[in-house]
Structure 1
Amino acid sequence: MPAPPITFNGLPSGTRAAVEAESGPILKVDDVSTGLNSSLSALAHTTGGVVFLKGLRADHRWVWTQRREADINPYVTPLAPRLLFHVIADGWDVLGFESVDGHHADYSPGSPDLPKVSDALRELASLPCPDVELRHAEQRLAAYVDHPGDADAFRGDALLHTDWNNHNVLVTEDRAHLVDWGWATRGAAWLDPAHWIIWLIAAGHPPAAAEALTARLPAWASAPPRAVDAFALAGANLWAEIAGTAPDDWTRSLLAAARLWQRHRNDRA
């Protein structure tokens, strides 16, 4: 269930005071639309600059993603915006990040953002996986493969982002930045390009063209074809679960893309 949205001014006074103790006096707040994983999403204009705030109630079932982002941030900057503070006060858990003045990545065919996103994938693949608590890809995807043993192909020691929603990729003049690391995972290095393929197909790339884009990434070279087939099936099953019986346009599009890729893999086999 998505986290119910809240504005900054709707937070308890104790939470607001704790944030300002870290950020400095807040002059203005621009509340922005939240994603599925946070209730609070806002740009706080302070005397020292702009801070991006994201938060969840401290008793929310996904509040662990806040700690995950805080723990992993030192290992993924400057690929990710730098975490400035993490406060837990008056029933809320709030992260404050450096604000990135960029636009959400455009994944459509021919987009000038695609090379920058590819560079971000290469940079991520070059980072060592830190010794912090992370979920494992073979565990996260075990319920979505045909046979439990198929998920063993997703095992690995690479640091993965896994949520390649284009709203999690902010593109500036010089690079792409990855945000929302709450679902960071340990697994096979080729899995992030595989996750990206589904989003590329949803943006209008034919499956073969989407695979051709990832083929330029060194991490993809380590992907055994049968393991990719298993992931394509897992992706289709995962998106079917997310879509449920009454999908909105967004989830319907991703489910259709995942199924299209699965059929492409089956035809190739």
Structure 2
Amino acid sequence: MTGEHASTRTIESYARGGTDLVADEVWAVEAHLEVCRVCRDRLSAAVGAGVPAVAALVDTVWSGLEPRLAVTATMPRGRHRSARLSRWLTPTMVPWSAMVVGVVLLALLLDLAGTGSGEVSLVLLFAPVLPVLGVAACWSRGLDPAYELTASVPRAGLHLVLRRTASVLGVVVPALLVGGWVTGVMVAQWLLPCLALTAATLALGGAVGVTRAAVVLTAVWAAAVVAPTLATSRTVFALQTDALPVWGLVLTLAIGVVTARRGAYSVLVAHR
């Protein structure tokens, strides 16, 4: 990209199929073309001059579609909103988010009833992994009916993964804030591990897939933290305030890995 428009080399390469462009460049070009009429006209000219077979195919398809589009009703405003909403969540995220909030409420009720795990709040015990479950649900082949379509386009990389992760945190964190406030748990004590595990899920997800990473980290948390805590009724180191610097380091490293490997999220296999 040069200045406000794509370079001639980039436009011509994209017109030929973009095989010599990296995924980030393809994503940037497509995002720019959506809002720049000048570059769309340049792309049209490049296709006509450099790839006449494609131009002929487009003209053939357009000649068949144009009469139908002329008599087709425009999309209702509500569907426009639904299309924008799909950038942030999938239909299956709604029940999953409700389930996660339900777990928070159940843990809160058990804490208030005094049936928790001794000196450890159940809200504190489960808070760090609840967003991880939501992240797994928001990018799962089995839970998103439009998964293949969404994951195969260039703009379905890290940008979309972060949007959906933010939507999960936007639901879970307020519920945990209420639960932590009622039970008297310090915010940093659950929020930092929560963010660290979520970032670690994305970091590991760039290599093995977001869903698999979430399953692995949840299993590790259950074995290393939940099981010992329930067995001994004592606060393990991971839940103590002394562990906060460690969680901060994990969060920083995970963000660094996600940033360094941001191109990995543009590959379909990275989301499995």
Give the TM-score range, shorter chain. Answer: under 0.3
TM-score scaled to structure 2, two decimals? 0.23
Larger strand share, 1 or 2: 1
**Rg larger for:** 2
TM-score scaled to structure 1, two decimals? 0.23
Larger helix share, 1 or 2: 2
> Bigger relative contact order, structure 1 or 2, given CA contacts below 8 A and separation 6+?
2
